[in-house]
Amino acid sequence: MSATLSESRCADNPDAIFRELAAPFPADEVQFKPQVVKGNRALAIAYIDARAVMDRLDAVVGVHNWQDRYLLLPDSSVQCRLRVRIHGEWIAKADVGGPSDQPDGGDRLKAAFSDALKRAAVKFGIGRYLYGLPPTWTDYDPAKRQFTSRPHLPEWAMPRPAPSLNGSAKKLPADGTELHRRLLEADSELAGKSLCKVGALLGHVSQAGTKAGYGADMSQWSGPAIELAVAETKAFKARLADKAARC
C-alpha cells in the first residue's frame, strides 16, 4: 500500500487511516528471527524493520503528517516519541527500545533507535497483528544462524487481494496517476467492445469522486478515493452488462 492520503482526507477519514496503518504487510516485508533454538528447529518470531514502518507512515498519512523524536536513556535504551496527524490533530505515542547484542557499539545503539520506533508505531496499529501470530517452529541452521525454510503466515495475516479496474484480483492502484492510467485502459476496452462511448467510464468515476469530496484532480486521489473508484468501476460495468443482457 503506497498511496498517500492528502491532508484534507486525513481530516475526513480517521477510521480509514487507522485501518490502513494496521493493515498486514506483504509477506516479503515480514522477517523472522529465532526466539528458541532446539537442534535444527527454531521458534520463529515475525517482525518488520524500521524502514517498513517509515514506508507505511509515508504511504498512509504522508511525509508531512508524522514526526519522530528520540531520547537516549542512561541504560543505553532509547525512547521514541512518534507523532501522527490524524483527524486534523497531532497524536503522540511513545515507547522504549533496547540495544541489540551486536559487538559494535554503534550497531547496538542503531538497533535501539529502530526498536523504539517500531514499538511506538505498534501503538498506532502498525504491525500489531504480528503479535497475534501462532507459535511456529521452522527448520533452522544453527551454524549459519538462519532459517532454511520460510515460516508460514496464516491467511488472515496476509494483505487482502483487491479487485482491479479490469476485474482480476490484483493490488489497488498505487496512486492517483496509476488510477487514471488504468481507468483509461478500462475505458478504452469497454469502448472497443461498443459497450459505451469513449470517456464514459472515466467521466462516471470522476463525477462520483468529486461528489464524494475527493476533488476533480484524479491524480491527487489516494486511499479511500481509489477504493471508491474501483467500486464505481465495478458498478458501471455491471450496469453495462445488465443493459446488454436486456437488448
Residue 152 to residue 155: CA distance in whole angstroms: 9
User: Grid coordinates standing for 213?
Assistant: 469530496
Pick the range with the lowest mean pLDDT from 18-22, 28-32, 163-167, 219-223. Answer: 163-167
pLDDT band at 3 (very low <50, low <70, confident <90, very high): very low
Beta strands at 89-97 and 136-141: parallel, antiparallel or unpaired? unpaired
What confidence score (pLDDT) does residue 117 get? 97
Contact 79, 23 (CB under 8 A): no
What confidence score (pLDDT) does residue 130 get? 94
Mean pLDDT of 224-246: 84
Class of domain 7-157: alpha beta
Helix (H) or strand (E) holding 210: helix 200-211
Question: Residues of the chain with pLDDT > 90: what percent?
Answer: 44
Mean pLDDT of 172-177: 84
Nearest residue to 32 (alpha-carbon basis) of 115, 154, 132, 150: 150
Mean pLDDT, all residues of the chain: 85
pLDDT in tens, 104-145: 767 889 999 999 999 999 999 999 999 999 889 999 999 998
User: Grid coordinates standing for 161?
Assistant: 487481494
Mean pLDDT of 24-50: 93
Query: What three-state secondary structure class fits 45?
Result: strand
What confidence score (pLDDT) does residue 8 get? 38
Domain ranges of the chain: 7-157, 162-246
Helices (H) and strands (E) in the chain, counts: 7, 9
DSSP state of 223: T
Mean pLDDT of 237-246: 80
Residue 18 to residue 56: CA distance in whole angstroms: 11
Angle among Cα 141, 50, 110 to the nearest 5 degrees reads 80
- For the packed helices 224-246 and 176-192, what is the interaxial angle rounded to 10 degrees? 10
User: Grid coordinates standing for 147?
Assistant: 532459517
Place of cell 476485474: 167
What confidence score (pLDDT) does residue 13 get? 64
